[in-house]
Each structure stands twice: as structure tokens, then as C-alpha cells.
Amino acid sequence: PSSEWRLPKEIHFVTAQDLHDEFPDLDVHGREDAAVNKYGAIFIIGMGWPMKDGSPAEEVRSPGYDDWNLNGDIIVRHPLTEYR
């Protein structure tokens, strides 16, 4: 990799529920790490909603004003550090 780094051309859109279902044995940060290692870049939708199995929300940052259907997080795996 070069020192000139750019966002990937494709970002995989996924819901917090999808991550919870795909990686049920990992905690929230473990699920995010696993997904970003698999796809390179992800956009997580719906992070504030409780999971279908009754588990608490993945992240609750601003419950008073965040619209969890519209807001999300982009997480990218850095090619040099391999850290998200």
C-alpha cells in the first residue's frame, strides 16, 4: 500500500441487526471488526434499536435526537495499520 490512502470504491451497507445475526458470539466492537475485515468498508444502519432477540441496542449515542433509521456509522479498514 502507498501512503496515499482513499476510501474504498464500495461501501457495504448493513444493519446492526444483520451484524448481530451474523456474528452472535462477538460483542459490538468484535462484530464491527469482523464485518470491516470481511467487506473493507461498512455503513451500519439502525444502531440505536434493540435487537430482535431482546438484546440491548448496539450503540446508544444520542437517543434524544438521533433518527436511527437515517443515521449510521461508516467504518473502514485502514490498509497500512489494518485497524478500523
pLDDT for residue 57: 73
pLDDT for residue 14: 93
Instruction: Please name which of 45, 47, 44, 42 lies closest in space to residue 12, comparing C-alpha atoms.
Output: 42
- In what side-by-side order are the strands of the sheet with 72-76? 12-15, 41-45, 72-76
Distance from C-alpha of 26 to C-alpha of 53, rounded to nearest angstrom: 15
pLDDT for residue 29: 87
Distances (CA, A) of 17 to 12, 72, 75, 82: 14, 13, 16, 25
What are 16-63's pLDDT values in tens digits?
899 999 999 998 889 999 999 999 899 988 877 788 988 877 665 555
pLDDT for residue 43: 92
- What pTM did the predictor assign? 0.76
